[in-house]
Structure 1
Amino acid sequence: MNKMSTKVSNPISEIFKYLAISILFMFIGFAIGMKFVPEYIAGLANIIVIILVIVMLVLSLISRKGKLPGSFSMNFVYLFTFIDGIAFYPILNMYIQDLGPTIVINILVSTIALFGILAFISSKKPAGHYLNLGLTLLISLFILFILTIINIFIGSQTISILLSIVGVIIFSGYVLFDISLIKHKENLGQLKEKNQLSIHVLNLYLDFINIFLDLLNIADNFR
Structure 2
Amino acid sequence: MNKSTYMTVENPMEAVFKYLSISIVFMFVGFLFGKLFVPASLVYAANIFVGVLIVGLLLFSLLSRKNVIPRSFSMNFVYLFTFVDGILMYPILTYYLYDLGTTLFMNVVLGTCVLFALLALISHRKPAGHYVGLGSTLLAGLVVLIVMSVVNIFIQGTVFNIAVSALGIIIFSAYILYDVSLLKYDIESGGVTCKNDLSIHVLNLYLDFVNILLDLLRIVSDLTD
Same fold (TM over 0.5): yes
| 2:70 pairs with 1:44 | no
Kept in 1, the 8 Å contact 2:51–2:150? The answer is no
- Show the counterpart of 2:77: 76
Kept in 2, the 8 Å contact 1:48–1:90? The answer is no
Report how many aligned residue pairs link the two structures. Answer: 221
Alignment of 1:4-15 (within 5 A): 7-8=6-7, 9-15=10-16
Q: TM-score, normalised by structure 1?
A: 0.96
- SS of 2:134's equivalent in the other structure is helix
Kept in 1, the 8 Å contact 2:52–2:153? The answer is no
Kept in 2, the 8 Å contact 1:122–1:180? The answer is yes
Unaligned runs of 5+ in 1: none
- Show the counterpart of 1:179: 180
Amino acid at match of 1:172: S
CA deviation string 1:39-92 (max 9, x = no partner): 122232123312210111000111011110011000000000001001111001
Task: Give the superposed CA RMSD.
Answer: 1.5
Alignment of 1:59-208 (within 5 A): 59-208=60-209
Unaligned runs of 5+ in 2: none
- SS of 1:114's equivalent in the other structure is helix
Kept in 1, the 8 Å contact 2:20–2:206? The answer is yes
> Take 2:128 and 2:40, find their aligned partners in 1: how far apart are those partners?
48
> Take 2:157 and 2:59, find their aligned partners in 1: how far apart are those partners?
21
> Take 2:82 and 2:151, find their aligned partners in 1: how far apart are those partners?
27
Q: TM-score, normalised by structure 2?
A: 0.95
Amino acid at match of 2:86: G
> Take 1:197 and 1:161, find their aligned partners in 2: how far apart are those partners?
34
> Take 1:42 and 1:99, find their aligned partners in 2: how far apart are those partners?
14
- SS of 2:130's equivalent in the other structure is coil
Kept in 1, the 8 Å contact 2:124–2:181? The answer is yes
Amino acid at match of 2:21: A
- SS of 2:6's equivalent in the other structure is coil
> Take 2:97 and 2:55, find their aligned partners in 1: how far apart are those partners?
21
CA deviation string 1:74-121 (max 9, x = no partner): 000000000100111100111011100111111000000000000000
What is the CA distance between 1:37 and its match in structure 2?
A: 1.0
What is the CA distance between 1:7 and its match in structure 2?
A: 2.1
Amino acid at match of 1:187: E
What is the CA distance between 1:3 and its match in structure 2?
A: 7.5
Structure 1 window deviating more from structure 2 (186-195 vs 36-45): it is: 36-45
Amino acid at match of 1:209: V
What is the CA distance between 1:153 and its match in structure 2?
A: 1.6
> Take 1:34 and 1:11, find their aligned partners in 2: how far apart are those partners?
34
- Show the counterpart of 2:29: 28
